[in-house]
Amino acid sequence: MNHDFKKNLEQMADEVEKDLLRCFDKLFDAPDIIISSMKYSLFAGGKRIRPVLMRKTCELFGGTIEDVRALSCAIEMIHTYSLIHDDLPEMDNDDLRRGQPSNHKVYGNNIAVLAGDALLNYAVETAVSGIKHLPESKKSCGIQSLNVLMNASGVNGMIGGQVGDVLAENDDEMNAEKLKYIHSHKTGALLTAALLCGSIMAGADEKSLKLIRQYGESIGTAFQIVDDVLDVTSDTKTLGKPVHSDQEDHKTTMVSLYGLESAQEKVTEYYQAACRALDELSIDTEFYRQMADYICKRAY
């Protein structure tokens, strides 16, 4: 990986971290345990890829970080809530997340469920508050972006993909089409939303929005396939979460359906599709190309 890109990514992630901390620099009218549980998972590490993508995209299309500061915090809260729920016994039943005990292992299943719910609600509160403080000329873009974000988080996006993933357990009729749906919705939808929100807030034109969507859908789908590959090829210490869980849960993945080599080839196909979309964009795309390398080449 390009050392300068990794350093730049870490710096941008640090800025996101500071803004997330400020979101919790207030008094909450709630028992301490729920705030502690929310913060436990939100500040457990992570590369903050989604908020970073949103902020960088807004800048590349001529906007500012201030335009998406609140929205970018919101998308990370939504991503974190999904991880808390994903680790629950009723879902993937994972005891580790980012090298630490999963939220439900520390706070119990009931508080973990509520912490996820609370993060989703607080994400919307944070986003709406940010939109309220935008200049009048940008508020309509803020509302449009929030609509994109919530759609990508709901049944038309991430939740739909999660349901597909649950149904993939012991599914004897699983095929490539079903897997593509899971990958593009479970992981791809929120990554694409990050790019679209940044673009919309900067006033990008329709052609650019179409191309940035194609890029996001490609790297987002590849991201999930890479996760499936790493579940087979990596180890718990490296990933910070259990490996071989897909096999243990009897989930059909690209690896189990077509084999490791074919899954890696599919990642390459999506990587190339992402690069083709970038070729048509009229902005500087170097950051996006390096991000595609970063996402797609983790399993090599």
Q: Tell me which H or E stretch contains 97.
A: strand 96-97
- Look up residue 49 and give its two tokens: 């890829």
Could you tell me how far CA 134 lies from the centroid of its own chain?
A: 25
Range of the domain at 185: 3-296
C-alpha radius of gyration, the chain, whole number: 19
Contact assessment for residue 255 and residue 261, using Cβ atoms and an 8 Å cutoff = no
Whole-number pLDDT of residue 185: 93
- Look up residue 130 and give its two tokens: 């940010």
Whole-number pLDDT of residue 246: 59
Whole-number pLDDT of residue 98: 86
| Alpha-carbon distances, residue 79 vs 193, 227, 271, 285 (angstroms) | 12, 16, 23, 25
pLDDT one-digit tens code per residue, 80-100: 999 999 999 999 899 999 889
Q: How many domains does the chain have?
A: 1
Contact assessment for residue 231 and residue 253, using Cβ atoms and an 8 Å cutoff = yes
Whole-number pLDDT of residue 179: 87
pLDDT one-digit tens code per residue, 236-278: 655 555 556 655 556 678 888 878 888 888 899 999 999 999 9
Distance CA 116, CA 121 (A): 9
Q: Tell me which H or E stretch contains 20.
A: helix 3-23
What CATH number is given to the structural domain containing 97? 1.10.600.10
Q: Confirm whether pTM is higher than 0.75.
A: yes
Could you tell me how far CA 176 lies from the centroid of its own chain?
A: 22
Whole-number pLDDT of residue 170: 75
Q: Which residues of the chain have pLDDT under 50?
A: none
